């Protein structure tokens, strides 16, 4: 049974002192095994499509899990940057307790062949 500490201020209830929890020593197999509830999401492989004003980039979104509620243990889809903007907006609107990190900027410099560094290249006649 936990010991009772004297209250800090007169009139307060005594506070139970903290007792260290018993723990099971973890084996190397346990330490390096997949977690009980694994949900891994990776965004990779950007691909740019189209020409000029109709140019856009989409990204591969891969998911891997061992959570039983998911029908598929692995899946992959392609999504555009605007889909990530929508998702961020929805997460921020629906949950004030979750901090949603900012999205990386659009890769405009890589999409415009006439742009070098931070300055537009000009042609002298």
- In tens digits, what is the pLDDT along the chain, a chain of 125 residues? 555 555 556 666 666 666 777 777 878 887 787 778 888 999 999 999 999 889 888 999 999 999 989 999 999 999 999 999 999 898 888 777 778 888 888 765 555 554 444 444 444 44
Helix then strand then coil, % of the chain, to nearest 5: 20, 30, 50
Range of the domain at 49: 34-94
14 contacts 6 by C-beta, under 8 angstroms: yes
Name the domain count of the chain. Answer: 1
**The domain that contains 52 carries what CATH number?**
3.30.1520.10
Q: Does a structural domain hold residue 25?
A: no
Q: Rounded CA gap, 7 and 43, in Å?
A: 53
pTM, full prediction: 0.55
């Amino acid at each position: 049974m936990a010991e009772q500490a004297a209250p800090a201020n007169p009139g307060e209830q005594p506070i139970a002192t903290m007792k260290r929890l018993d723990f099971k020593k973890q084996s190397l197999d346990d330490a390096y095994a997949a977690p009980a509830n694994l949900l891994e999401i990776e965004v990779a492989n950007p691909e740019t499509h189209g020409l000029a004003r109709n140019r856009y980039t989409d990204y591969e979104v891969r998911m891997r899990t061992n959570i039983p509620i998911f029908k598929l243990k692995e899946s992959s889809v392609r999504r555009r940057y605007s889909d990530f903007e929508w998702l961020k907006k929805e997460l921020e609107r629906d949950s004030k307790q979750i901090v949603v990190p900012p999205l990386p900027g659009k890769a405009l410099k890589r999409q415009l062949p006439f742009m070098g560094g931070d300055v537009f290249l000009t042609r002298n006649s």
